[in-house]
Structure formats: C-alpha cells, structure tokens
C-alpha cells in the first residue's frame, strides 16, 4: 500500500487531477455567505456517529486547520454545501477537524492519511467510498448530484445513450428483457458497488447502443471503453464475477501516461492495481514511437492475466518517476519493473526488438535487481556520517556499532530544523567509538521497505550493536535523543553482561 501511494503522488504531480484546487467564487463572497449561515455541518467525536446514522447519503471532509489545501477548499466546499442544501433531496456536506486529538479515532477509522480527505458515507455510514470528484464548487455539486442519484440511468432513446456514452470514459450498460429478476438485481448491486469509479446505464433495447450486437435481447452486460476493442459483452451475473469483469476489462492492455487528461483515470487505476508494474519510458515524439508501442503492446498481450501490468510514459510527463527511481534522461528509452516488495529491475537504452526477451528474462528470474544509490562519499569525516544505499549494510548493519540513522529529504523544513540538533548529538558522542550518528537522503537512495517504515521526514531509527532495531518517536531536542541512545545502550550493555555471566 505504501508503494502505491508513493507511485501515485510522484507520478501525478505533473498534471491536475481530482485533488486540484479550482476557485469559482471569491473568498470575500464565500466568507460573507458563511457569516450569515454555515451550510457545512461541523462534526466531532461527540456527535459524528449519531449524525451520520441518520443519513442515507452524507459527505464528510477530514481536514487540518493548518493545511493550505484545506483552506483553499473551504470556500468551495461551503458554496457547494449551500447549493446542495436546496437539492431534492438535500445533500449534506460535513467536516471533521482530524487534527484535533479527540477526533483522531474517527480519522483512524476512516483511514485518513492526508488532508483534505473527503469520504462519501452511504446508508448511515455502513458503506464508505472515496470522493473522486473535482475540488471546485460547481464540480463538487455536479459530482455529488450524480453520486446521490440512481447508480444506473435508464437508456430509453438514442439521445439518452449519446448523453452518457463518453468516448474518453468507461460506461457499463446492462441490457435486459425486463427490469426485474435476480440478474437485474445483481446488476444494480454492481452499479452501487462501483458507482464511484464507473458510469452505469440499463436499457431494454440494444439497438439504442452505439456499438455491439443491436439484436441482443439480454440479459447481458456491455462495457464500452476508449481503448483496445472498444466494447466487451459479458453474460455471467454473479456479483463477484461482474466486479472482476469490470475491473479487468476496464484496464488498458498498455496504459498511456502523458499530460492528456483523458488518460489520468487509467493511470490512477494502473497504480492502484496489485500487479507488478512494468513501465517503458521514452520520448513520445521520437520517430520510433510506433515501433515501441507495437512491440510493447505485443508483450503486454502475451503476459495478460499474469499479474504484470504495463505502462508507457512520456519523458516530459514522468519527471516525478525519474526522480523517484533515480533515472537519467540519457538512459531512455528504458524499461523499469518494480515488484510489490520494492525490488526494481532496469533495462537502459532499450531497442524495440529487445523488449520481449528482456521481460522474459525478468519473468524467468534472470535479471538482477537495480538499486538506486548516491555514490559512497570518498570523505566522510563530518560528525553526522553520510549513508547511501550502497553503504547502508556496512555502516548500519555490519559495523557492530550503535547507530542512530535519520531518513531525510533535502527539501524538508523539519529535517533542516533537526540538522543542527543532530550535529550537537554527534559531537557529544565524537569520542565514543561505539556510537554513530548518521543520515541518509531517502529521496536519492533506495530504502529496504521490509526493514524501515519511512512514511514521512524526518524518520529516525536506532540499531543497537546487538541488532535491536527501534523506531525513534521521542522528542526532538538534543537531550531527548541523547537520553534515548544512552537508555537503549544501557539496556543492551546489561543484556550483554548477563549473557557473559550465564
């Protein structure tokens, strides 16, 4: 799960998606409206459960008062709440200060990991879905009107069909001889379950649909998509089978990643997939693009259904990925494969005819993992020692020392504040050969995810000379850190002496 979040956050920084902020009303107007009446309901630990239980459909924003994105969203969210209060039936928008200590249990329950996080709660909170719509008032209103209405729209005419068939989106249509019976009910269940991700329609007449067998009487499910074979029919109506069909069929054989917004939903779906990720990066304007696309598509077809997903990324749109993987533009065209345990496999300056054989070598276990690492410093005589991926084992695990290791990011303000404190800590241990204070740039070096759980910066770990590994979550003063090291050293020393006595 952590890898998924890293992939998405790094890749999607290059384009505007549902997390973007768009203003459609001035701050002054919104503040004036809120002074007279606040339409967004404020909830907390004392009234959250009771209030949510009373509503079939409610939207909740989890925010932090200090969060800039939350502040930008606030007037848009309030304006949307005002408009939706007159909807039939009204749509309630609420908010919870997830930074408040007493509300953190609610935030944990709803898996709030960043701000703002918006959830759609249905049927008294028994069904929870992610809000995946825009962040401007008009976009919020349009998205929530659709989400609060029927999960599937009836298609009664060709005009109805043309109004919901979008050449850039997935549409799932059920064709039935009548709108009743177990199969129709299962289709309705499917629509309710997946409505946040797909559009659904149902019809009695396949002739109204733009593609496929117009004589089909059903029951069948026809999925329209803007890639590959453009539509697929399915006639098994077990709900789980329907979900699997929609999820698998709505994934492109090869996902394209560039700055075109129509590809964004499929890029999100790609990175949310549990499959191993194969990514080919090249300049989409190169004369060889068609050759690469053809060969890559052939390979993707060959491994379809084998838990390996394929993406082609344009270099211009993929700078976040290049930073994350430690890649250089002179290495393109290149393929990188990342497994769910964090291992990476790289083929630089690949040719179209080399793709199939290299992927086969990877599947056969004949490709060595690639590790991103800064060069090992030739001189490392500062009080706080510099660790890189290639020296991590030697300095932290094999040195036989007590090591306090900071995982930092060069741009992190908290890391900059901690740096002089760590210098002082290191200076206090400079005559102690058994203690090392060290740091590693976690943005420029691969970190073993099964050993260190680094979710933010700075993160501190302490590894004792006997191998105990502890995550440090104490105070950030010189005295706090020194006391922690001494305490854990003392414990280790006592354990060592006891072993000697035995």
Whole-angstrom distance, CA of residue 99 vs CA of residue 96: 9
The distance from CA 258 to its chain's CA centroid, rounded to whole angstroms, is 18
Q: Cα separation of 295 and 102, whole Å? A: 56
Looking up tokens 């008009």 gives 138
Q: Measuring CA to CA, which residue among 222, 192, 191 is closest to residue 205?
A: 222
CA distance 397 to 417: 27
Selected catalytic residue, list 412, 421, 469, 482: 412
| CA-based nearest residue to 95, from 127, 126, 73, 68 | 73
Considering the candidates 415, 422, 425, 454, report the single residue annotated as catalytic.
415
Any catalytic annotation for residue 22? no
331 backbone dihedrals φ, ψ, rounded to 5°: -85, -10
Of the residues 67, 164, 232, 239, only one is catalytic, namely: 67
Judged by DSSP in three states, 310 sits in strand
- 415 belongs to the catalytic site: yes
Which structure tokens are listed for 71? 């502040």
Give the whole-angstrom CA distance, residue 458 versus residue 472: 10
Is residue 282 within 8 A of residue 315, CB to CB? The reply is yes
Distance CA 485, CA 481 (A): 6
Residue with tokens 């932290």: 396
Spacing of C-alpha 421 from chain mean position: 33
> Of residues 70, 208, 299, 300, which has the active-site annotation?
70
Active site (catalytic) residues: 67, 70, 412, 415
């Amino acid at each position: 799960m952590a890898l998924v979040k890293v992939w998405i956050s790094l890749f999607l920084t290059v384009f505007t998606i549902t997390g973007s902020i768009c203003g459609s009303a001035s701050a002054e107007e919104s503040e004036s409206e809120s002074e007279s009446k606040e339409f967004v309901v404020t909830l907390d630990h004392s009234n959250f459960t009771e209030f949510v239980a009373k509503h079939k459909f409610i939207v909740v924003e989890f925010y932090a008062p200090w969060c800039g994105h939350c502040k930008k969203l606030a007037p848009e969210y309030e304006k949307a709440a005002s408009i939706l209060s007159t909807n039939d039936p009204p749509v309630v928008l609420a908010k919870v200060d997830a930074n408040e200590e007493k509300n953190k249990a609610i935030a944990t329950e709803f898996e709030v990991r960043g701000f703002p996080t918006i959830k759609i709660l249905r049927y008294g909170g028994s069904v929870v879905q992610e809000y995946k719509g825009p962040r401007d008032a008009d976009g919020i209103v349009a998205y929530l009107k659709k989400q609060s209405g029927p999960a599937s729209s009836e298609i009664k005419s060709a005009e109805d069909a043309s109004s919901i068939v979008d050449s850039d989106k997935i549409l799932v249509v059920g064709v039935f001889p009548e709108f009743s019976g177990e199969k129709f009910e299962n289709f309705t269940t499917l629509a309710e379950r997946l409505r946040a991700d797909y559009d659904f329609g149902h019809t009695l007449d396949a002739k109204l649909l733009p593609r496929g067998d117009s004589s089909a009487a059903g029951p069948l499910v026809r999925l329209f998509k803007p890639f590959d074979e453009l539509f697929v029919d399915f006639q098994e109506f077990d709900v789980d089978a329907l979900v699997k069909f929609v999820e698998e069929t709505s994934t492109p054989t090869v996902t394209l990643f560039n700055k075109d917004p129509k590809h964004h939903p499929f890029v999100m779906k790609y990175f949310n997939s549990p499959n191993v990720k194969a990514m080919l990066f090249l300049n989409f304007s190169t004369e060889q693009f068609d050759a690469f696309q053809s060969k890559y598509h052939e390979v993707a077809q060959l491994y379809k259904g084998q838990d390996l997903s394929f993406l082609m990324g344009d270099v211009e749109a993929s700078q976040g990925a290049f930073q994350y993987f430690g890649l250089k533009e002179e290495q393109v065209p290149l393929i990188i494969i990342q497994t769910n345990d964090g291992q990476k496999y790289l083929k630089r300056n690949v040719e179209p005819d080399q793709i199939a054989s290299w992927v086969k070598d990877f599947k056969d276990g004949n490709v060595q993992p690639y590790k991103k690492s800064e060069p090992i410093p030739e001189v490392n005589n500062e009080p706080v020692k510099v660790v890189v991926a290639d020296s991590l084992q030697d300095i932290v695990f094999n040195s036989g020392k007590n090591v306090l290791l900071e995982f930092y990011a060069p741009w992190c303000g908290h890391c900059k504040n901690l740096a002089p404190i760590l210098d002082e800590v290191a200076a206090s241990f400079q005559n102690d050969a058994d203690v090392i204070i060290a740091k590693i740039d976690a943005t420029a070096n691969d970190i073993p995810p099964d050993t260190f759980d680094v979710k933010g910066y700075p993160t501190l770990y302490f590894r004792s000379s006997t191998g105990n590994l502890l995550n440090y979550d104490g105070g950030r003063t010189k005295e706090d850190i020194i006391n922690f090291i001494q305490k854990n050293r003392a414990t280790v020393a006592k354990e060592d002496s006891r072993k000697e006595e035995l």
